A and B are shown apart, each in its own frame.
Chain A
């Protein structure tokens, strides 16, 4: 069995992101870069399937610049077997999906796992687009994954607006992970040492024959609307009075 896990390099989610004064980017100074938290969950799930199965290769793939090697090494340190870096700067979700489709065609995995969204662009699109391009079923925002004993399908629980939906998908499929799917392991020191020797292949995006022309172009960026400063109230009475007479929402 082979599982292909797509990961993205993103700013640490605890970072307060600020727009550049010229409005065409974010302030990158001082940012700590990590594996997208949802992708970490996807890696963890792949490793758990691998541990249960006894005969499973977990391959990581990322689309980005060479600095993304860092994030691949983190995943290898967690326990993945090898990694692929597709060199492409500034690929938008459509380009990412097309590139991942090419990698999937080459690797022929039984399952593709990734986080439901990246916490930088918050698009929540790549998994769905990729599934369509490959002609595979999709299971998005999953919180439970149960592989069938014969490995030919998976039963998933999806977190949807109304509650929890259970679906079944035949493999190969694209599955996107939501927060509660699992709690990812930390890389152990031996894991980190082993990761250095695991294969990490770099491919030039151009060699995959994909049109990388961006379909979504950012023209400008702005900070969110500012809220007026609030105040501390001293008591419940104070609060009720303010809500009734000042804010007039009671």
Chain B
């Protein structure tokens, strides 16, 4: 019997879907471990956040409030979490495999001398985990030796926990030590968008180098994105070329998405891009090169000039 601790990622006073997904994964694991689910919320000003966290359906919410945790830098956050883990009889710590989760989880694992599996896509009843390797060309079943164990979960592989009830909130008095050489936050430049979050959207339209420049993303691709109420993504090539910002990148080392509908426009389909989207339910490819590898994963492939096909598709989608 051991508890499952879930890291409650949050930003700008909101709890993202990624955290609800980590809770979903944690609850599944708790069924095997026999203990309780604890959602850990750390930060500088927690009050309202804790109330939101309490609705995610865990048995308890535990909080650590300290000015040093304002930007949740990995070093100070991992150290604080290690103290929480030691005090709470924890057998498994679950993070969402977001950039925040990936930044903190391994540091926590080292602090606890705990084994870690990152980007897990399944939690098996026998205690083993499944994770992708070689850009998703291999799925390995792995065993972690020792306890507690740390995992980060791929958010497209688990269901978000349903909101239910209101868990008790316990404020922990944990010593938060900010070392002299702790990393300092300076600033963040975030893309503001009214569109759905890329990793959560039901529909994604991604653009590649075939769009040729940033302006075409705006004039050709975005109308289709918005006609579909979709999120916009991009290939590495398009980001490298400066057509769109980095947070749109879909791929092995960017974001992994698995929407109901994924439309790849002017994307050749490199192995690394496929790794980020081939679990999508329906894949459409529009590319003028019939040999483009993207067609090997597409359910529907249209070999055509995107500058003609996309405006036509946009118009027909709007017609309903």
Binding site for B on A (CB under 8 A): 11, 13-14, 16-19, 26, 38, 93-94, 97, 116-117, 119-133, 135-141, 143, 155, 158-170, 173, 178-180, 213-225, 227-228, 230-233, 235-240, 242-243, 247, 249-250
Contact B246 A125, beta carbon cutoff 8 Å: no
Among the listed B110, B128, B191, which residue makes an inter-chain contact with A97, where contact means beta carbons less than 8 Å apart?
B110
Shortest A39–chain B CB gap in Å is 13
Shortest B185–chain A CB gap in Å is 6
Contact B187 A17, beta carbon cutoff 8 Å: no
**Mask: chain B, 92-125; 1 = CB below 8 Å from A; 0 = not:** 0000001110111111011100111111000000
Contact A168 B302, beta carbon cutoff 8 Å: no
Given contacts A124-B118, A163-B245, A169-B183, whether A224 and B75 have CB atoms under 8 Å apart is: no
* Docked pose: A119 CA to B273 CA in angstroms: 13
Contact B299 A119, beta carbon cutoff 8 Å: no
* Selected A-B contacts with CB under 8 Å, 20 pairs: A16-B137, A94-B115, A94-B116, A97-B110, A121-B134, A124-B106, A129-B107, A132-B106, A141-B99, A160-B247, A161-B247, A162-B190, A163-B245, A168-B183, A168-B184, A216-B116, A219-B141, A224-B137, A232-B302, A239-B302
Residues of the B chain whose Cβ atoms lie less than 8 Å from the Cβ of A117: 253
Assess whether B214 is interfacial by the CB under 8 Å rule.
no
Assess whether B144 is interfacial by the CB under 8 Å rule.
yes
Contact B135 A122, beta carbon cutoff 8 Å: yes
Contact B137 A213, beta carbon cutoff 8 Å: no
Contact A138 B107, beta carbon cutoff 8 Å: yes
Given A16-B137, A133-B110, 19 more contacts at CB 8 Å?
A: A19-B137, A119-B134, A120-B133, A125-B116, A126-B106, A132-B75, A162-B11, A163-B188, A163-B191, A163-B246, A166-B187, A167-B73, A169-B183, A169-B184, A173-B183, A219-B142, A224-B138, A230-B298, A247-B282
Assess whether B164 is interfacial by the CB under 8 Å rule.
no
Assess whether B312 is interfacial by the CB under 8 Å rule.
yes
For B184, the closest partner residue in chain A by CB is A168
* Docked pose: A207 CA to B302 CA in angstroms: 59
- Size of interface on B: residues with Cβ below 8 Å to A: 87
For B203, the closest partner residue in chain A by CB is A249
* Docked pose: A225 CA to B258 CA in angstroms: 14
**By DSSP majority rule, is chain B's interface helix, strand, loop, or mixed?**
mixed
For B251, the closest partner residue in chain A by CB is A179
Contact B191 A162, beta carbon cutoff 8 Å: yes
For A132, the closest partner residue in chain B by CB is B110
Residues of the A chain whose Cβ atoms lie less than 8 Å from the Cβ of B145: 213-217
Residues of the A chain whose Cβ atoms lie less than 8 Å from the Cβ of B261: 243, 247, 249-250
Among the listed B106, B253, B297, B303, which residue makes an inter-chain contact with A128, where contact means beta carbons less than 8 Å apart?
B106
Contact A249 B281, beta carbon cutoff 8 Å: yes
Residues of the B chain whose Cβ atoms lie less than 8 Å from the Cβ of A138: 74-75, 103, 107, 183
Among the listed B74, B107, B245, B295, which residue makes an inter-chain contact with A232, where contact means beta carbons less than 8 Å apart?
B295
Residues of the A chain whose Cβ atoms lie less than 8 Å from the Cβ of B181: 135-137, 169-170, 173
* Docked pose: A100 CA to B249 CA in angstroms: 31
Interface centre among B128, B132, B182, B253 (most CB of A within 10 A): B253
Residues of the A chain whose Cβ atoms lie less than 8 Å from the Cβ of B115: 94, 215-216
Given contacts A221-B139, A224-B136, whether A178 and B253 have CB atoms under 8 Å apart is: yes
Contact B247 A163, beta carbon cutoff 8 Å: yes
* Docked pose: A167 CA to B309 CA in angstroms: 43
